[in-house]
Amino acid sequence: MSLTSELFGDVLVAHTPDELNEDTSGPFHAELIDAADRGRKKFVLQMDRTEAYDSAGLTALLDLQDEVREAGAILKISGLDEPGNTIFKLTRLDRRFDIFDSVIDAVQSFR
């Protein structure tokens, strides 16, 4: 899987896959950690394309956040759709992540 991403200044915006599950979370996680290891410090996960989640995908998000923090970086989320918002509320992930409606708001929050 190749991660689709773009830079907004020094913020890496990564587009999550359509499904965040056991099959997609490993490669996605590895690519972002590699970017953190190469010195990237500001990340936004643009999740507007993600329509399905499983426990492995949600666990991968938590692991990613922990590893990004250990590397001295910050991870934020933008663009959750209604099912994503509901899942994040039910699992209380909305308390673990800074979540923004738009990618622009998320990127600007780093200033």
Per-residue pLDDT reduced to its tens digit, 4-58: 889 999 999 999 989 999 888 888 788 889 999 999 999 999 999 999 999 999 9
pTM score: 0.92
- Report the chain's mean pLDDT, rounded to a whole number: 92
CA distance 94 to 85: 8
Q: What pLDDT does residue 47 have?
A: 95
pLDDT at 30: 87
- Whether residue 90 is predicted with pLDDT greater than 90 in this model: the reply is yes
- Indicate whether 105 pLDDT > 90: yes
Using the CB atoms, write b or e for 19-30: b if 16+ within 10 Å.
bbbeebbeebbe
Residue 108 pLDDT:
97
Domains, the chain: 4-108 (3.30.750.24)
pLDDT of residue 27: 80
